[in-house]
Structure 1
Amino acid sequence: MSAPIRVTDRWLERDGRPWFPVTGEIHYGRVPRERWSEVLGHARAGGLDSVASYVFWQAHEPAPGDFRWDGNLDLRAFVELAGAHGLEVVVRIGPWSHAEARYGGFPDWLVQRDLALRTDDPGYLALVRRLYGEIAAQLRGLLHADGGPVVGVQVENELYDDPGHLATLRRVAEEAGIYVPVWTATGWGGARLPENLLDVYSGYADGFWAESDDGWPDWAAQHFRYSTVRDDLGVGADVRAALADDGTVEGTGDAGTAPARPATPFATCELGGGMHVAYHRRPLVTPRDVAALALATIGSGSVWQGYYVYAGGTQRTGPHWTEQESQATGYPNDVPTLSYDFGAPVGEHGQIRAHHHLLRRQHLWLAADGAALATMPATVGGGSADPDELRWAVRSDGRRGYVFATTYQPAHSPLPAQRDVQLTVELDDGPVTVPSRPVDLPAGVSVVWPVRYPLTEALVLRSATAALLTRLEEGGPDGTPLVVLTATDGVPVELVLEGEVPVAGPVAAGTLDGGTVVTLTTAPGPGTTVDLPGVRLLVLDEASADQVYRFELGGRPRLLLSDVPLSVSPDARHLVAQTERPDVRIACWRPAQGWVSRTGAAPRAGRHRLAVDPAPHAPAPPAPRRGGPAHRLAAPTDFSGAARVRLDVPADLLDAPPGDRVLLRVAWSGDVGRAVVGDPLADGTVIGDHFWHGRDWDVDLTPWRDEVARDGLTLELLPWRRATGVRVDPAVRDVPDGARIRSVDVVHVARVGLAVPPPSDDEQETR
């Protein structure tokens, strides 16, 4: 029997203990089944303890009564595999999903019926009951009560005005046999929810759904400030307005006054793991944007970090070619026909991006101290829109806590440095001032400083100007704990300990107010350790902290350093390195020895440059046009006048052993690109598309290598025309009209299995 889970008015609990979940969205139906395990392995390696996924009705019931659960639609197999990776699952059962899917995930045959969709219309509910029954059959034996990984269910999505219908959906799901401890519904946009659903929230650094002539939206800016306001009125507002006008999809239930909701914990399900692009507006959200927003949300009181999306995917194809949101189906936006990369931590084709590492630092901290943090309410000290005001917050339970401060906003709206920063935290037994002397915070940083953190039962870290990363209870000498801290670049490290404490290591020590003040005499890094009574501190620089992984291997926790992405096989017996370089080097922490290096080889990994015309000419690009309910710029569908770049890819570059991947990486500028196998003017097959927005364009050649070798590959490129009015980020918009190619590379991404390092003598002695 699984440990009981319940939702209190302030946090979630597991087995009577506070629990701080970290969840990432991965759409099993948009990822090839043979790559599920790889993607779930990276999610676990990134510090997630759970994943969420939509169940797209249109994919599972393409014709009335004809349900499909095969291939990469096998929900049961996906949930079982997530459980094998140590991940729990939140199933978003709809019926309406949105998710940039055709009709929000509704099948065409449903939309064509004369039903009041997303309401308690009896005809509609009969079809929902059938769908939920099929989902329940897939999840039988996998629910939390049965010892399975499914701990939560979300009903509907972005339904604002019909709490009665949302309550009905939960009842129908339970009648079908779906019983879970956590039931949720999206709360943003001023949604009215019934009391038996937990409201969950969102936060994005930008949004493709804004207008092309809008600057950076205020609703995005608010997420880089500390605030007790959970709601975001911008997310989905354009679709809400469009579908309400259409009248066929938006709920139109009871518009009376909703009952007052009880206090609920601040939970999120859609913190932007990146951002999708539409034709008219193409945000360029950076890894640091994602990490800063996530950390600001924790500082604002979040007790559940949920990312949308954590791993990108590819839009499904069906009888209408692709099943993406488009103006042709009544939506305001045209999005790419295939790519749903989203700029996510794990990309559409398994690319591991910098925010996978930046977020892992936060997740390791939450794994180490999230149970305590969840009980700490947030107090916002400085959170205004004034760029000159220090933005800070405190989370504390009265005994100890964390100080948050930030000078970070995206590069197109930066904040200045803050001089002479010093904050005083009022605790039950008196104030703590951190740091003991004011410090300057550089521009573009976010810090979390622990206050009265218990290093051991007898030793307390009164304050520190370094963040808690993780701890190993037997990672120090003689089986003592190892506590790992991360310094912030440009901020000197100060550690203040309660009482007079002997200190050894590259430090200078003094006394202050009955405590011991420790400063480093060497730069933070993998070799910077400080020995205290009963505990060792390891103080890393930020670049090294980005390389830290913590895995359960060989029956014990392991701390690893790696400059290539790592994951663990589901049986926890093997490390797996993913690399575009031929050499792999990792280091494993040994309590008595420090870091011990290991190497591996991936001789086929690397990049191979192809020769191309850097300025291909498009003889007759189509005229701009507008469409949809918001009259926004529409994606071109006529590629007859595009520039065509024929690529000759040597057959040996396409060869890859199982598990490896061959990507085509195009660094370019333009408007819209398509990769076509075969003759693009005849029966060619589009295998990838891209709305240019500043990031490189990756196309996975692995599933198409035989066809590419036989029929060739052509890039169809439409030129950039500034006068069209498409919005791209200011950082990249200063490009000439036309199509420009900087480089085209064939990238071999290798997956290398590494043996689990055996325990050293000192580890064996302390087990």
Structure 2
Amino acid sequence: MSDISITPTCLVRDGRPWFPVTGEIHFARIPRDRWAEILEHARAGGLTSVATYVFWQAHEPEPGAFRWDGNRDLRAFVELAGAHGLEVVVRLGPWAHGEARHGGFPDWLTERSDLVPRTDDPAYLDLVRRLYGQIADQLVGLTLAEGGPVIGAQVDNELADQPEHLATLRRIAEECGLHVPLWTATGWGGAQVPDTLLDVYSGYADGFWAEAEDGWPAWAAQHFRYSSVRDDLGVGADVQAALEATASDGGATASTAADAAAGTGATGRTTPFATCELGGGMHVAYHRRPLVTPRDVAALALAKLGSGSVWQGYYMYAGGTQRVGATGTEQESQATGYPNDVPTLSYDFGAPIGEHGQVRDHHHLLRRQHLWLATDPALAAMPATIPSGDPGDPGGLRRSVRSDGRRGYVFASTYQPSHSPLPAQPGVQVTVDLDDGPVTVPSRPVDLPSGVSVVWPVRYPLTAGLVLRSATAQLVTRLDHAGPDGGPVVVLAATDGVPVELVLDGDVAADGPVTAAPHDGGTRVTLTAPPGRDTAVDLPGVLVLVLDEGTADRLHRPVVDGVPRLVLSDAPLTVAADGRTVVVRTEAPAPTVSWWRDGGWSPRSLDVPRAGHHRIAADLAPDAPAPPAPRRGGPAVRLAAPTDFSGAARIHLDVPEELLDAAPGDRVLLRIAWTGDVGRAVLADGAVIGDHFWHGRDWDVDFTPWREEVARDGLTLELLPWRRATGVHVDPSVRDVPDGIRLRTADVVRVVRHPLTPDELCEETA
């Protein structure tokens, strides 16, 4: 057991600053047999914990009849997370949102007219007490105090003006037996959060909840600036307005934007800046379909770190599939009072780990950040100093410093999404005032290209006697006792277009592809070779690797048999719950894995012949004979998703049986590159196994659970055409496509789970 506490500036664990990294994973939206795979990726991605909603509708579909079986098994999920070295934050609800029908409330609850939900109405609280009692029973023996992984709980979601009710929810949960060190509630929207809960915040690069006519939302732009402002008035504002419009007399209502802007809610509170919903991607609605890129996600996360975040929490970290209940699919829709229609099944969210376990580029970009946070958790105790001025000025350098007075980090950014790019910044140089004097980074001004975010260390201790005064490369990780002489290996990542310099305190000898010269009482080291896998600077007692960005994105730091390693891998690499089995999951038949051994990299080319891509269709332009007319609905009168596919184009795909063969742990996907409006993947018996609102990203359908049916009968794609005049919003980068339907390619993608052999692990064999 360890001790966790909250100070005004950071979280503390066992007396030291602690920097948790949490990713949202919804166990009830993922097949149970895939939980382990997703948790392996989460741990490999540098998460320290996972957060998960307990959707009331999934667990009490009928009054008093609770279900915790199958992929509803909260206890089994928490135990499995713990086995993978991950702690858990349980989002208790009762109201969740999460793009679930009725915010996760069961249908029977919404039909009750004798109670007022989301208030301290005794009739409602009786039902909440029953739910929380069931959840607490599921978690007996699994809390931190009991030696388990559950460290926190969040009550309700996006409830802005009911602080007494939020406090009541915590009290009820504790009365039911749930005792955890961290209790949270969402703070955005000007929320009034009681002192008994830690307010946690969000930040998204775009939002499906904006209007189709809107360009890039102003509330999204603020998240790419360094700022002391934590709140976001845009997230969930449309749903709050709809709930307010339909609330019963005396029920909960949303705070107005004016109240929030005026400071209603958290005024006077002194809490650390913690997040729970940094956009790991973005969902799509029918009327508005953002295309958030991996670099958008990574830059936003770094901007929050530069703004003082002490807890990085992502929503979503792994996508899933909407549940189907007794009355149909359980997604939010205009038919159930929401402003938006979202896909009936897909909850992929463009997340680092996709709906079907696809590992995306931002998983790797974020891993670099998380490795740094694990290497130097002291960042949590370093407050952010942000220069005054207009943070919206696109012409100036965006910068911040986090420092404890002894050392710190310089943050600088020229990154915004392609909707509104920022210019390059010439002659960048920042002076950091420390207790023992100023440090100027870099020693000579450098030009910062457009579209980059950098974090430069200041006075970072490489060893007990050697201080890195500054560097124009980012700290990634370190491995003690891994150098050729038994000293540490410190890994830095260069930024494309930014020359690398290291400035060290004192007169220091440096070997490798470098030049060294005295500078201001220290030694300035510059590279004479480009950053890369083999670019190493040999300093007294430490070896510094300076990787290029592409190589740094391939860097993993698995712990195998209790020993941390450095690995470069072309394919996602994880460690199973046993702590010994190292696994790659690859779409390519010959990925390379390189292990750091004896002061250098030992590469192995893996032979995975079952992996690969196989084309089964291409260059098709089917006609939809009678697409439905556009329509609008819901409280915001937005474009509504079509439900009539009788006039859709149909493409039948036959799939060779040998392409559907899969060993346990393998995945077989259909990857469709297309343009159109809405698509469904349908089996011969009419079952819909996948759906997609086209928005510029490929559409993946998981064949794995349906291999026999697809081998026997094939699969039919039902596609509706793109009609620009309808007014659906898609990203400008993909908007200029002709009306109609174009299927460019349809590939069967075989993703193979390949456990590494002792030889592939670079271990000595008997």
TM category, shorter: over 0.9
What letter corresponds to residue 36 of structure 1 in structure 2? W
- Contact 2:619/2:745 (8 A) holds in 1: no
Kindly state the Cα deviation for residue 364 of structure 1 after the two structures are TM-superposed: 0.3
2:688 to 686, 689, 702: 686
Measured in 1, the distance between the counterparts of 2:302 and 2:310 equals 12
Q: How does 1:322-401 map to 2 (within 5 A)?
A: 322-370=329-377, 372-381=378-387, 384-401=391-408
Q: Cα distance 1:757–1:448, how it changes in 2: closer, same or farther (>3 A)?
A: farther
What letter corresponds to residue 89 of structure 1 in structure 2? V
- Contact 1:225/1:383 (8 A) holds in 2: no
Kindly state the Cα deviation for residue 583 of structure 1 after the two structures are TM-superposed: 1.2
Q: Cα distance 1:270–1:419, how it changes in 2: closer, same or farther (>3 A)?
A: same
Question: RMSD of aligned C-alpha atoms?
Answer: 1.6
Measured in 1, the distance between the counterparts of 2:655 and 2:587 equals 18
Q: How does 1:209-608 map to 2 (within 5 A)?
A: 209-247=209-247, 251-252=251-252, 261-370=268-377, 372-381=378-387, 384-590=391-597, 592-608=598-614
Ranges in structure 1 where 5+ consecutive residues have no aligned partner: 763-767
What letter corresponds to residue 155 of structure 1 in structure 2? V
- Contact 1:243/1:250 (8 A) holds in 2: no
Kindly state the Cα deviation for residue 258 of structure 1 after the two structures are TM-superposed: 6.1
Kindly state the Cα deviation for residue 745 of structure 1 after the two structures are TM-superposed: 0.5
What letter corresponds to residue 145 of structure 1 in structure 2? A
What letter corresponds to residue 162 of structure 1 in structure 2? Q
Measured in 2, the distance between the counterparts of 1:577 and 1:195 equals 45
Q: Cα distance 1:417–1:249, how it changes in 2: closer, same or farther (>3 A)?
A: farther
- Contact 2:618/2:744 (8 A) holds in 1: no
- Contact 1:111/1:248 (8 A) holds in 2: no
Match of 2:160 in 1: 160
Match of 1:40 in 2: 39
Q: Cα distance 1:383–1:82, how it changes in 2: closer, same or farther (>3 A)?
A: farther
Kindly state the Cα deviation for residue 653 of structure 1 after the two structures are TM-superposed: 1.1
Any idea what SS the aligned residue of 1:471 has? Answer: strand
Match of 1:765 in 2: none
Kindly state the Cα deviation for residue 534 of structure 1 after the two structures are TM-superposed: 1.1
- Contact 2:247/2:253 (8 A) holds in 1: no
Kindly state the Cα deviation for residue 593 of structure 1 after the two structures are TM-superposed: 3.6
Q: Cα distance 1:341–1:760, how it changes in 2: closer, same or farther (>3 A)?
A: closer
Measured in 2, the distance between the counterparts of 1:659 and 1:726 equals 38
What letter corresponds to residue 439 of structure 1 in structure 2? V
Ranges in structure 2 where 5+ consecutive residues have no aligned partner: none
Q: Cα distance 1:177–1:249, how it changes in 2: closer, same or farther (>3 A)?
A: farther
Measured in 2, the distance between the counterparts of 1:466 and 1:569 equals 32
Any idea what SS the aligned residue of 1:335 has? Answer: coil
Measured in 2, the distance between the counterparts of 1:273 and 1:249 equals 37
Measured in 2, the distance between the counterparts of 1:277 and 1:760 equals 44
Measured in 1, the distance between the counterparts of 2:449 and 2:301 equals 19
- Contact 1:165/1:253 (8 A) holds in 2: no
What letter corresponds to residue 755 of structure 2 in structure 1? G
Greater displacement, 751-760 / 142-151: 751-760
Measured in 1, the distance between the counterparts of 2:397 and 2:3 equals 41
Measured in 2, the distance between the counterparts of 1:729 and 1:67 equals 42
Kindly state the Cα deviation for residue 281 of structure 1 after the two structures are TM-superposed: 0.1
Q: Cα distance 1:494–1:424, how it changes in 2: closer, same or farther (>3 A)?
A: same
Kindly state the Cα deviation for residue 293 of structure 1 after the two structures are TM-superposed: 0.2
1:734 partnered with 2:733: no
Match of 2:98 in 1: 99
How many residues align? The count is 755
Measured in 2, the distance between the counterparts of 1:397 and 1:80 equals 37
1:203 partnered with 2:226: no
Greater displacement, 731-740 / 3-12: 3-12
Q: Cα distance 1:464–1:642, how it changes in 2: closer, same or farther (>3 A)?
A: same
What letter corresponds to residue 377 of structure 1 in structure 2? P
Post-superposition CA distance 1:594-652 (Å, at most 9, x none): 10112322111111111356100000000000000000000000000000001111111
Q: Cα distance 1:222–1:710, how it changes in 2: closer, same or farther (>3 A)?
A: same
Measured in 2, the distance between the counterparts of 1:710 and 1:555 equals 46
Q: Cα distance 1:307–1:86, how it changes in 2: closer, same or farther (>3 A)?
A: same
- Contact 2:722/2:739 (8 A) holds in 1: yes
Kindly state the Cα deviation for residue 243 of structure 1 after the two structures are TM-superposed: 0.8
- Contact 1:659/1:751 (8 A) holds in 2: yes
Quick one: percent identity of the two aligned structures?
A: 73
Match of 1:60 in 2: 59
- Contact 2:152/2:182 (8 A) holds in 1: yes
Q: Cα distance 1:248–1:89, how it changes in 2: closer, same or farther (>3 A)?
A: farther
- Contact 2:285/2:341 (8 A) holds in 1: yes
Post-superposition CA distance 1:404-456 (Å, at most 9, x none): 00010111211111111111111111111111111001111000000011111
Match of 1:181 in 2: 181
What letter corresponds to residue 103 of structure 2 in structure 1? G
Kindly state the Cα deviation for residue 655 of structure 1 after the two structures are TM-superposed: 1.3
Q: Cα distance 1:227–1:279, how it changes in 2: closer, same or farther (>3 A)?
A: same
Q: Cα distance 1:325–1:453, how it changes in 2: closer, same or farther (>3 A)?
A: same
Any idea what SS the aligned residue of 2:670 has? Answer: strand
Q: Cα distance 1:760–1:274, how it changes in 2: closer, same or farther (>3 A)?
A: closer
Greater displacement, 291-300 / 244-253: 244-253
Measured in 2, the distance between the counterparts of 1:298 and 1:573 equals 33
Q: Cα distance 1:251–1:28, how it changes in 2: closer, same or farther (>3 A)?
A: farther
Q: Cα distance 1:655–1:757, how it changes in 2: closer, same or farther (>3 A)?
A: closer
Measured in 1, the distance between the counterparts of 2:677 and 2:341 equals 14
Kindly state the Cα deviation for residue 196 of structure 1 after the two structures are TM-superposed: 0.4
Post-superposition CA distance 1:371-391 (Å, at most 9, x none): x10110001127611211110
Measured in 1, the distance between the counterparts of 2:251 and 2:51 equals 24
Post-superposition CA distance 1:701-738 (Å, at most 9, x none): 01011111223210000000000000000000000000
1:743 partnered with 2:745: yes
1:667 partnered with 2:673: yes
What letter corresponds to residue 326 of structure 2 in structure 1? P
Post-superposition CA distance 1:443-496 (Å, at most 9, x none): 110000000111111111110000000001112123211110000011000100
Measured in 2, the distance between the counterparts of 1:593 and 1:501 equals 21
- Contact 1:375/1:397 (8 A) holds in 2: yes
2:640 to 634, 654, 658: 634
Greater displacement, 626-635 / 450-459: 450-459
Any idea what SS the aligned residue of 1:212 has? Answer: coil
Match of 2:129 in 1: 129
Measured in 1, the distance between the counterparts of 2:543 and 2:265 equals 54
- Contact 2:617/2:747 (8 A) holds in 1: no
Measured in 2, the distance between the counterparts of 1:394 and 1:320 equals 53
Any idea what SS the aligned residue of 2:557 has? Answer: strand
Post-superposition CA distance 1:36-80 (Å, at most 9, x none): 000000000000010000000000000000000000000000000
Kindly state the Cα deviation for residue 259 of structure 1 after the two structures are TM-superposed: 8.3
Match of 1:84 in 2: 83
Post-superposition CA distance 1:177-198 (Å, at most 9, x none): 0000000000000000110000
Measured in 1, the distance between the counterparts of 2:403 and 2:30 equals 41
What letter corresponds to residue 522 of structure 2 in structure 1? G
Kindly state the Cα deviation for residue 761 of structure 1 after the two structures are TM-superposed: 10
Kindly state the Cα deviation for residue 755 of structure 1 after the two structures are TM-superposed: 3.4
Any idea what SS the aligned residue of 2:732 has? Answer: coil
What letter corresponds to residue 82 of structure 1 in structure 2? A
Greater displacement, 559-568 / 475-484: 475-484
Q: Cα distance 1:155–1:700, how it changes in 2: closer, same or farther (>3 A)?
A: same
